[in-house]
Amino acid sequence: MLLKIPQVLNKAQVAACRDVLLAADWADGSSTAGYQSAQAKHNLQLPEQSQDALQLGELVLLALSGNKLFMSAALPLKIFPPLFNCYQGGQSFGVHVDNAIRQVPGTPVKVRTDLSMTLFISEPQDYDGGELVIEDTFGAHKVKLAAGDMVLYPSTSLHKVTPVTRGRRLASFFWLQSMVASDEKRSLLFDMDMAIQALRQKVADSNEIVQLTGVYHNLLRQWAQT
């Protein structure tokens, strides 16, 4: 499932993030890449344990905790702390797949990367290039969203970031382990949840809606790992 989640951050939050990132001290982005990814990764990254990264990461996680679309689609169990990157001057990230397991720095916590996320902080008109290209069975999908919007997609997907030829592309990227490991089962639950919510907007609760809600939770109970 590839899903756009609009307005994870509002305009004021985006502006606050951008101000911090524009004044930040950046490091070589390859420092957090695996062996294969490091060969293709050419960008800048905010040091993971820097005060700026930790502060902005908390802001992003707080915003996501109240986002119903994200919660329904991702069913998060563990979220890797958000990272922040910058592409400029022709920088890019070639085709790669994300590492299956990420260890949270300074802790014994390991996160299985079921879903990857990119939260855009620069407006699309502020830079040329920089599209996130995600491949699936239906082909390649180019993603370049408004500041504050986020894309959620399976971490098993091959993907890349095209060269930024003008301006600066600022974004947050991170991963999560879902309660439901299977993308297919997670997609079915999401579709059912969206359908139930849409029905509730059209008609008052009925026995049928209550029954469907019970089916949803029973499937989640059967498939969830906690």
Annotated binding site: 96, 98, 159, 169
Using only C-alpha atoms, what is the Rg of the chain?
18
Q: How far lies 55's CA from each of 80, 84, 141, 210, in Å? A: 14, 11, 31, 41
Quick count: other Cβ atoms within 10 Å of Cβ 112? 17
Rounded CA-CA distance 43/27 in Å is 9
Binding residues for 2-oxoglutarate: 169
Asked if 179 contacts 226 with a C-beta cutoff of 8 angstroms, the reply is: yes
Binding residues for Fe cation: 96, 98, 159
DSSP 62-101: HHHHT-HHHHHHH-EEEEPPPEEEEEETT-EEEEE---SE
Rounded CA-CA distance 205/23 in Å is 51
Token digits of residue 128: 């040329």
H or E stretch covering 18: helix 11-22
